[in-house]
Each structure stands twice: as C-alpha cells, then as structure tokens.
Amino acid sequence: MDFDLIVKNATLPDGRTGMDIACAGGLIVAVEQGIVAEAKEVIDAAGQLVSPPFVDPHFHMDATLSLGNPRMNVSGTLLEGIALWSELKPIQTVEQIIERALRYCDLAVSMGIGAIRSHVDICDDELKGVEALLDVRAKVAPYLDLQLVAFPQDGIFRDPTAKENLTRALDMGVDVVGGIPHFERTMQSGAASVTYLCELAAKRGLRVDMHCDESDDPLSRHVETLAYETTRLGLQGRVAGSHLTSMHSMDNYYVSKLIPLMAEAELRVIPNPLINIMLQGRHDSYPKRRGQTRVPELRAAGITVGFGSDCVMDPWYSLGKADMLDVAHMGLHVGQLSSRADMAWCYQAVTGNSAQIMGLNGYGLEKGCKANMVLLQASDTIEAIRLRPNRLAVIRGGRVISRTPPSIANLYLEGRPAQVNPVDFSPKSPSI
Ligand code: FE2
C-alpha cells in the first residue's frame, strides 16, 4: 500500500519511542515500529516528539490582535481593558474582525494549534463579531477547527438586548451557549442566568461554556449552580466552567462539598493560567492570592481540566503568541504541578483534555484518527513544556501545512562545540 505520508522514528506523548506513523486519505492508518512502505512524503522525526495538535479551549477571537486599537491599554488593568473594548466595539468593522482573526489563525496554525473554542461577544446589536467569526469558521475549516460560544459579555440579564441577541447568534449557527453569572447584578440574578442559559442549551441540544466565578470572591456560588443545573437537565459532560478563580479563595470545607457535585455533573473545567495569574488578587496587598482554580484537587476527583489561553494582544492582555506551551508552562508553575506525572499531565491539559472538552471527533494519534499532528523540537512532553520549542512540522489531514526550521545556535568559542541545539540538553540525550 502507498501512503500519503509517513512520519518516521517519533517519540509519542505516552512515551513510546521509535514509532512510525503512516497516513492515507486524511487518516492515520498505522502507528507501529519499522513501517516499510512507499509514501509521497516521509518526515524523519529523529526521535523527537510527535503529538496530536494543541487545542485551545478558551479564546476571544473577536478581540485578538486589536492591541493599540483605538489606543493602548496604558495601565495594563482589567478596568482599562473593559473601557477599551467598549470603545472599540462600536467602531470596528466586520472586515477588520475577519482580517485580525484570520491573521491570528495563521499564527495559531504555525504554533501547532489544531482547534480553538472562541467566545464571541453578542452584546452588540449588530452582531458584528458573530457575523465575522462565522465567516472565519468556514474559511479556516480546512486547517483549523473553530468552535464558537455565544458570550453575553455584559450579562444576559444586565444587558437589555442580550437575551434576544444570544438567541439570534444561536440561530445564525454559533455552536455553544456562554454566560457570565458573576457579572449579573446580584447573586440571585447570576444564579437565575445559569438556569436560563442551561435550559436554553438543553432545549437546543447545545453545549455550555460559561465564564463562571472569575473573581476572588470566596462566597461566589455560581459553580455550584452550574453543576446543579447540569445534572438536573441531563447535560453531564457537555458543560464547561471557564476560569472558576473564586474556587482558589473559597473555604476548604465548602470546596469539599462542591468538588464532588462538580464530578457528579461531569463538569469540565477550563482555567486560563496566563490571564488568571495576571488579573486575580489585584485587591490584595501581601500576600497576594494566585487565583488559579484548584487544579490538583479537581483532577484527583476525576474532573477533566483543560488549560485555555483566553487572550492574545487584545484590550485585556498585551502579550501572548498562540503558544499553548506558554499556557501549560504557566499553569504548571501556578498550580505547583512539579512531579513528573503532573508535568506530563500539563501537556495533556493543552491537548487531549481540551479536545475532549470541545467534543472533537477523531482526535489523537491512534489508528483511525484524523492525520493531524505536530512535530516538535523536543524529546518528550515535559521537555516540550520546558523549552516551548519550534514546531518543526504541522500536519493536517496527512499534509504538511506549516514548517519552522529548528532553533540551533552557532557558537564561536574556542574549544567548545560549534553549535548549541536545545534538544541536546534533554535528560535523555546521549550527550549528557
Ligand atoms: Fe474569557
């Protein structure tokens, strides 16, 4: 049999080494050692890591790359970011949003991202973001899975036209129901918004992904309501809570009740480590809280946790480069996930776990999966997080869609090696 592509001598995320991956008809047809066959293209992985694509389960593509428009966030605060977004929203055009989003998708693909769940602000009566991102979703479909969440940024009850706009957005084809209960005017109103939005999703057969308790308030209780409504409406496994930063500050006794409720509801959890560590604890003097939700405890309860990036170069966050390994790196540090198993898990949080949260089909490196994968300049998943290395080849449907040369420095020191390749510093490297 002739193949479209064979990737030779790969290390896989589960630690298997010397593996060959054969692709045909857009699918992986064999993953084994020593495949001998003809192929239109052969890539020598040279023992480096080949992984399924990165998956970003939480992003805001309608705002990305707008940094500096209409002006810079000089203070770097959330409040100035919110003010800036409300200045930009009325003046930006559909075409501008499309152009920025497509540029971001180019960058994301080059960094090995294969799927993104993006929230889109529906608190704009013209629904410019929705129109733009639906167009982008269709345009990028051959090379990137884009899933859209109807996000009532100003509150589904607090904003007078949000309910109507959200329904319109879903009718237009947005995939997932969003929410922001902690932004409603009262705790009761926030709880009612969770009920309203979960019922809407259940009626339409859609998934839910809410910004939930993105605060330092130890008494915020919307995660509890989200878990309750998920179970009541039979939405288990289809509902995600994004951020959940309040859980960092909650009373330990209360959390000992809450986490089992979340596990019962099969609630998915999406911390956004870069943004959470940047924005939380701002009202603290010292010590300052970290604000990342309780990742180790959630994992221990069997809850699926995936890390998201949230923002790249937008009114709220000036940094970011579509690197899910930056996200994993920050999540690892903030969560003190330093055991070998925990560090390897952080890689899972930006790949398989996030794919599960998005409900992606055919994701993985097994026979029968879609032939989507990334070759990294790293020897294994922990090394990938340490180095955040170049993505040497990005493969979609068995075809190379992006290449980046390896990063190798030439060294001009007498008596020392001529080159420094970061991979050679791996603990597994024969040169050490
Ligand atoms: Fe967000």
How many C-beta atoms lie closer than 10 Å to residue 318's C-beta? 16
pLDDT exceeds 80 at position 429: no
Q: Of 358, 387, 408, which closes a domain?
A: 358
pLDDT per residue over 346-356, tens digit each? 999 999 999 99
How many C-beta atoms lie closer than 10 Å to residue 196's C-beta? 18
Q: According to DSSP H, which parts of 53-207 are helical? A: 78-91, 94-110, 128-140, 162-172, 187-204
Q: Could you tell me if 254 and 396 lie in one domain? A: no
Averaged pLDDT, 413-429: 91
How many C-beta atoms lie closer than 10 Å to residue 35's C-beta? 17
Q: Could you tell me if 261 and 375 lie in one domain? A: no
Q: Could you tell me if 120 and 264 lie in one domain? A: yes
pLDDT per residue over 272-301, tens digit each? 999 999 999 999 999 999 999 999 999 999
CA of 200 to the centre of ligand 1 (A): 21
**Two tokens, residue 95:** 């075409």
Q: Could you tell me if 45 and 96 lie in one domain? A: no
pLDDT exceeds 50 at position 83: yes
pLDDT exceeds 60 at position 430: no
Range of the domain at 126: 54-358
Q: Could you tell me if 40 and 80 lie in one domain? A: no
pLDDT per residue over 365-402, tens digit each? 999 999 999 999 999 999 999 999 999 999 999 999 99
Tell me, yes or no, whether 61 lies in a domain.
yes
CA of 251 to the centre of ligand 1 (A): 25
Residue 106, SS3?
helix
Q: What is the C-alpha to C-alpha distance for residues 208 and 268, in angstroms, rounded to an integer?
A: 10
Q: Could you tell me if 67 and 118 lie in one domain? A: yes
Q: What is the C-alpha to C-alpha distance for residues 77 and 279, in angstroms, rounded to an integer?
A: 8
Q: Of 358, 385, 409, which closes a domain?
A: 358
Q: Of 333, 358, 383, which closes a domain?
A: 358
Q: Could you tell me if 65 and 34 lie in one domain? A: no
Q: What is the C-alpha to C-alpha distance for residues 47 and 9, in angstroms, rounded to an integer?
A: 5
| Cis bond before residue 417 (omega within 30° of 0) | no
Q: For residue 354, which of 344, 342, 346, 343 has the smallest C-alpha distance?
A: 346
Tell me, yes or no, whether 430 lies in a domain.
no
Q: What is the C-alpha to C-alpha distance for residues 239 and 209, in angstroms, rounded to an integer?
A: 6
Q: Could you tell me if 145 and 165 lie in one domain? A: yes
Q: Could you tell me if 151 and 84 lie in one domain? A: yes
Q: Could you tell me if 143 and 25 lie in one domain? A: no
Q: What is the C-alpha to C-alpha distance for residues 417 and 411, in angstroms, rounded to an integer?
A: 7
Q: Could you tell me if 188 and 260 lie in one domain? A: yes
pLDDT at site 82: 84
Q: For residue 307, which of 393, 224, 222, 385 has the smallest C-alpha distance?
A: 385
pLDDT per residue over 2-57, tens digit each? 899 999 999 999 999 999 999 999 999 999 999 999 999 999 999 999 999 999 99
CA of 212 to the centre of ligand 1 (A): 10
- Count structural domains, the chain: 2
Give the orientation angle of helix 222-232 with respect to helix 252-264, to 10 degrees: 20
pLDDT at site 432: 38
| Beta strands across the sheet bearing 3-10 | 27-32, 19-24, 3-10, 39-44
Tell me, yes or no, whether 431 lies in a domain.
no
pLDDT per residue over 149-189, tens digit each? 999 999 999 999 999 999 999 999 999 999 999 999 999 99
pLDDT per residue over 301-335, tens digit each? 999 999 999 999 999 999 999 999 999 999 999 99
| Catalytic residue IDs | 214
CA of 334 to the centre of ligand 1 (A): 18
pLDDT exceeds 60 at position 431: no
pLDDT exceeds 90 at position 428: no
CA of 4 to the centre of ligand 1 (A): 39
pLDDT exceeds 80 at position 201: yes
Average pLDDT, the chain: 96
List C-alpha distances in Å: 266 to 5, 23, 169, 301, 398.
Answer: 38, 34, 27, 10, 33
| Number of DSSP helices (H) and strands (E) in the chain, helices first | 14, 17
Q: Could you tell me if 147 and 95 lie in one domain? A: yes
CA of 246 to the centre of ligand 1 (A): 15
Percent of the chain with pLDDT strictly greater than 70: 99
Residue pointed to by tokens 């066959």: 37
pLDDT per residue over 329-342, tens digit each? 999 999 999 999 99
pLDDT at site 79: 81
pLDDT per residue over 90-127, tens digit each? 999 999 999 999 999 999 999 999 999 999 999 999 99
The mean-pLDDT minimum among 80-84, 155-159, 220-224, 374-378 falls in 80-84
